[in-house]
A = this chain, B = another copy of it.
Amino acid sequence: MLPRPIFVVAGVGNGSGTGAATARLFSKAGYNVALIARNAESLSKLADEIKSTGGDAGAFPIPSYTPASVQSAFASIKSRWPASPLRVALFNAGHFVRKPFLEISAEEVQDSVDTNIVAAFAFAKEVLLAFKELEIDEEGGKGKRGTLLFTGATASLRGNTTTSAFATAKFGVRALAQSLAKEFGPQNIHVAHTIIDGGIITDRSRSYLSEEAQNNPNVRLSPESVAAAYMYLSNQDRSAWTWELDLRPAHEKW
């Protein structure tokens, strides 16, 4: 019997958003799930939850998204499941700043580029090094070594009056995702980027979303639907890969 493949995600928040929903979905689909984030407690809780439903999950907390920490997390993942191939990776971490430009401190700018961009480079490097060691997965005609996914946002496409720091970082990650898609496609490694254009319903956002937004499925993104998009992308066969797709609620104004 073949070892189960690994799905790794960086950025799972408090366990109620996109990262966690995607982890749950890949667990159900037979992946071992490696969870990377800064909040060790949330990570453990999510790993326990996934294990309680019959999956296998590991929490790999890191103090911050420095290249060294990211590298070390991937070493731990490899130790945990030495025979399992890493097949799908999602960079879902982010550092969100929404402020008028002149109120953003130099430290906040640095944090934003470090956590969003420098971390994305480090994460991508570990993932691509792992993918390159694998044979092409021919199961179901897929024809890929692995799939590297990035969560983007409206701010990946447009800067705005209070998003100078956030849009800068998200534009940057989008450029990284595009460059990698072009460089690694010929090695049968699939890189994709999503534009999340709308509010995602999470435990956190629930606190400030209007009641309508909470209860009306037409106006907010569900994490499970985003997860379904990531599963679809992971399963695309080599003849027709998507680099980028947008996801927004039916009634979103855009």
CB–CB B225/A239 < 8 A: yes
Complex alpha-carbon distance, A244 and B195, angstroms? 10
Complex alpha-carbon distance, A179 and B184, angstroms? 29
Contacts of A141 in B (CB 8 A): 217
Contacts of A242 in B (CB 8 A): 229, 245-247
Contacts of A129 in B (CB 8 A): 102
Select the residue from A159, A186, A221, A247 with max chain B CB neighbours within 10 A. Answer: A159
- Give the distance to chain B from A242, nearest Cβ to Cβ, in Å: 5
Interface residues of A in 237-254 (CB under 8 A from B): 237-254
CB within 8 Å for A121 and B100 given contacts A240-B247, A240-B249, A251-B186: no
CB–CB A248/B254 < 8 A: no
CB–CB A239/B222 < 8 A: yes
CB–CB B160/A167 < 8 A: no
Q: Which of B101, B248, B251 contacts A180 (CB 8 A)?
A: B101
Residue of B nearest to A224 (CB): B239
Complex alpha-carbon distance, A227 and B189, angstroms? 22
Interface: A206 (CB within 8 A): no
Contacts of A163 in B (CB 8 A): 179
CB–CB B122/A106 < 8 A: yes
Interface: A23 (CB within 8 A): no
Q: Which of A32-40, A41-49, A110-118 participates in binding chain B?
A: A110-118
Interface: A162 (CB within 8 A): yes
Q: Which of B143, B184, B188, B241 contacts A247 (CB 8 A)?
A: B241
Chain multiplicity (copies) = 4
Select the residue from A141, A173, A221, A240 with max chain B CB neighbours within 10 A. Answer: A240
Q: Which of B121, B128, B222, B229 contacts A109 (CB 8 A)?
A: B121
Complex alpha-carbon distance, A162 and B175, angstroms? 12
Contacts of A240 in B (CB 8 A): 221-222, 225-226, 228-229, 247-249
CB within 8 Å for A101 and B117 given contacts A240-B221, A240-B229, A247-B240: no
Interface: A59 (CB within 8 A): no
Interface: A158 (CB within 8 A): yes
Q: Which of B67, B159, B164, B218 contacts A188 (CB 8 A)?
A: B218
Complex alpha-carbon distance, A167 and B110, angstroms? 18
Contacts of A79 in B (CB 8 A): none
Contacts of A176 in B (CB 8 A): 159, 164, 167-168
